[in-house]
Structure 1
Amino acid sequence: MNPLPLPAAPAAEARLAGLDLLASSVLLVDADARVRYANPAAENLLDASLKSLSRQKLTELFANGEELAALCRQALAHKWADLRQDLTLLRPGREPLHVHLTVSATLEAEVLLELRENVQQLKLDREERILDHSQANKELIRNLAHEIKNPLGGIRGAAQLLELELAARDLGALSEYTQVVIKEADRLQTLVDRLLAPHRRPHIVGDVNIHEVCERVRSLVLAEFPHGLAIRRDYDASLPEFRGDKEQLIQAVLNIVHNAAQALAGRIGQGDAEIVLRTRVARQVTLAKVRYGLALDLHIIDNGPGIAPEIRDRIFYPLVSGREGGSGLGLTLAQTFVQQHLGVIECESQPGLTDFRILLPLP
């Protein structure tokens, strides 16, 4: 049983009160690497109360706590005024914490640990997971589609032969059943062709102006939804052209915008549906572990109901759809086309605002 935290002296209470106001997470530990104090931000970050954290050793809080404790000992030995470094804190049974750590000794022979979540590392980890999932999905889709394609041809051919046999025996009335088989086989064939499309079609590279891509998509979607939907432009005219497959990028953006328009059905009926196409330049962007000085930053924003929380983390998986009757392939294909351009698609969604962000490296 851990002892209760020692009561703080009035001067200490005043000192700690200031730390309570910080947005960054702060731990105060003693010479034995035991936690004496944690501010509210640290309680939120570690998902634990001050009472449960107090008097625990860093080695009890983190699987690699000895590394942190060693830094504290070095700080107390005045090996440096303060140390700043990125660190991954391992917690048994929980997700690792990627933090930017600042370690400094106090005049009271204690050590102040300031922890800030490393957003860039979290982003890199998320992108790596997406790429791994995407690669696995592509292999699965390719293999599954080929396995389905062969028997489909046999089923359709057998149904056609059966239809001819029925006609020869004057049983043409039964041909409606063979027609059902043929039509369903054709429908599945179309689905398989869509699954295989990104892997069959050659990558045709040329100069691409992203605003021409956006304008093409805008005209196509407005032709289908002429009333009740506004597609607003917010372009950065300084964006340079880049090398890419224009048709693939049109298809990728079209799939996202078309999904947004379908999700806006309710607002289109009310006449206040809106999609924003916003282009900007992003600087010093890391995509698939490669650092680029410049990147195209395209946002597709709608004011629809948002993506259901239960599928939000799986929207780029094949055959996952939030719409009744949807094939669940539009975003999968969009992601494949963007990744073939060394880019990435990100998504943030809440009721009233869904933002798909396409990042592509620029020369």
Structure 2
Amino acid sequence: MTDPVLTENLLDNLSTAILQLNEEMHILYANHAAQALFERGLNLLAGCPIYQFITSSSLDMDRLKHSVQFGESYSDSEVDITFVDGRHTQADMSVTNMFDGKQTCLLLEIRLIEQQKKISQENHQWAQQQAAKELVRGLAHEIKNPLGGIRGAAQLLAKELPSPDLKEFTTVIIEQSDRLRNLVDRLLGPNVRPKFHWYNVHEVLEKVCTLVDLDPSHKISIRRDYDPSIPDVYLDQDMIQQATLNIVRNSVQVLMQHPEIKGLIKIVTRIERRVIIHGACYPLCVKVSIIDNGPGIPTELKDTLFYPMVTTKKDGSGLGLSISQTLVGHHRGKIEVESWQGRTEFTLYLPIERKEPQK
């Protein structure tokens, strides 16, 4: 075990990211997992201060320096890390004070917990959303039945009224009954069966971009970053267009409320491998990311964001994201969201089916 080549080989085969820092917080060593985490090779990491690659972190940098000076070792859990390229992750971290024979330094062990936490949160939130939908569906049917009776009674009463002036009141009853019925129908969500065909997902996204660009009420820029290697996807074009449009319009409306921000929305497509969606593992998925540079989603709304009637907008119905989740769910896909100050990212995952050759 004293062979340095063997030691380095063992470190490079760990799934835990290992960093060695000197007293100035400069990186002395990074194993392969750490290089993958920072998306930089050892030559680009060595000799650079760690805060050069991290824009913000809930890990206390002053405590790291204190650890070097006073020989303190400690652990911290669920540390939020934001990298300079905008990526965001969570990790458990251990800080160990050590002497390498020449100088006192720190050994950082970074264990990513984001994926496991995401799966657990996704299963929990999915179960809650399904329960909420069943509750809304039951209430909606209970509301629609008496509404039909109220509307019918108002129509019959209008025929029996002696004065045309009195019909104004029955007209109000009928109109409000219709308004409530429309609201209930929207709560129930789309009830049309999907019409699946093979489409290029970028054609669908371009239609969304065109609709948003043609809106004269804003000057928010849309930037595309498409992966041209993505194959055709078996989907309902209208449903995915509507799901995406709801999310993009939400971003536009939030950015319009903050004119001090130079609004930018990025739409990024990539292929993602081995994606777990509601307990099932799909070998390949299309990953569509919609990213804006707005103020972020309030913490208290993050867990209930896809519930019906949940919104931060004064005139919003809170149905857009709920409908989007339902439409993507018809494709066995899912929508995830990550948000912090200056960045909100909605990610749609759509499984890629194998296209059978035509006979």
TM bucket, shorter chain: 0.5 to 0.7
2:255 touches 2:261 (CA, 8 Å); kept in 1? no
Write out aligned runs for 1:53-72 (5 A).
Answer: none
Q: Secondary structure at the match of 2:155?
A: helix
Return the offset for 1:285. 2.2
1:227 to partner: Cα distance: 4.1
Residue of structure 2 in register with 1:324 after alignment: 314
Could you tell me the percent identity over the aligned residues? 44
| 1:186–1:348 distance in 2 versus 1, CA, 3 Å | same
Find 2:337's aligned residue among 317, 334, 347. 347
Which of 200, 212, 228 pairs up with 1:209?
Answer: 200
Larger Rg: 1
Evaluate the alpha carbon distance shift between residue 177 and residue 38 of structure 1 in structure 2; reply closer, same or farther with a 3 A threshold.
farther
Q: What residue number does 2:210 align with?
A: 219
Shift of residue 251, structure 1, vs aligned partner = 1.2
List aligned pairs for 1:23-38, cutoff 5 A: none
Mean Cα displacement is larger for which, 234-243 or 157-166? Answer: 157-166
* 8 Å Cα contact 1:208/1:244 also seen in 2: yes
| Match in the other structure for 2:247 | 256
TM-superposition CA deviations, 1:205-241 (whole Å, max 9, x none):
1112211111111222233345412222221111111
* Residue 323 of structure 1: how far off its partner (Å): 0.6
SS, match of residue 283 in structure 1: strand
- State the match for 1:148 in structure 2: 143
Structural mapping, 1:1-363, within 5 Å: 39-40=73-74, 42=75, 44-45=76-77, 116-166=111-161, 169-170=162-163, 172-198=164-190, 200-225=191-216, 227-267=218-258, 272-363=262-353
- For 1:39, the aligned partner's letter is S
TM superposition score normalised by structure 2: 0.66
Return the letter of the residue paired with 1:322: T
Contact 1:307 1:322 in 2 (8 A): no
Whole-Å separation in 2 of the counterparts to 1:271 and 1:136: 38
State the 1:149 CA deviation.
1.2
Q: Distance in 2 between matches of 1:208 and 1:142?
A: 32
Moved more, 173-182 or 230-239: 173-182
CA RMSD in angstroms comes to 3.5
Alpha-carbon offset, residue 253 of structure 1: 0.6
Alignment partners' CA distance in 1, 2:133 and 2:173? 28
Preserved contact between residue 222 and residue 264 of structure 2 (Cα < 8 Å): yes
Measured at CA, do residues 313 and 178 of structure 1 come closer, stay the same or move farther in structure 2, by a change above 3 Å? Answer: same
Report the equivalent of 1:105: none
TM-score with structure 1 setting the length: 0.65
Q: Retained in 1: the 8 A contact 2:204–2:240?
A: yes
Residue identity matched to 2:220: L
The Cα shift of 1:320 comes to: 0.7
**More moved, 220-229 vs 185-194:** 220-229
**What amino acid is the match of 2:329?**
Q
Mapped to 2, the partners of 1:358 and 1:287 lie a distance apart of 11
**Cα pair distance change 1:216/1:137, threshold 3 Å:** same
Alpha-carbon deviation of 1:46?
Answer: 9.0
Q: Deviations over 1:33-69 (max 9, x none)?
A: xxxx9833x1x2299xxxxxxxxxxxxxxxxxxxxxx
Q: Cα offset for 1:123?
A: 1.4
Change in 2 beyond 3 A, CA 1:222/1:158: farther
Give structure 1 stretches of 5+ with no counterpart: 1-16, 26-36, 48-97, 102-113
Output the CA distance in 1 between the equivalents of 2:147 and 2:129. 26
CA drift at 1:175: 3.1
Do 1:298 and 1:357's aligned partners in 2 also have CA atoms closer than 8 Å?
A: yes
Distance of aligned partners of 1:204 and 1:310 in 2 relative to their CA distance in 1, 3 Å threshold: same
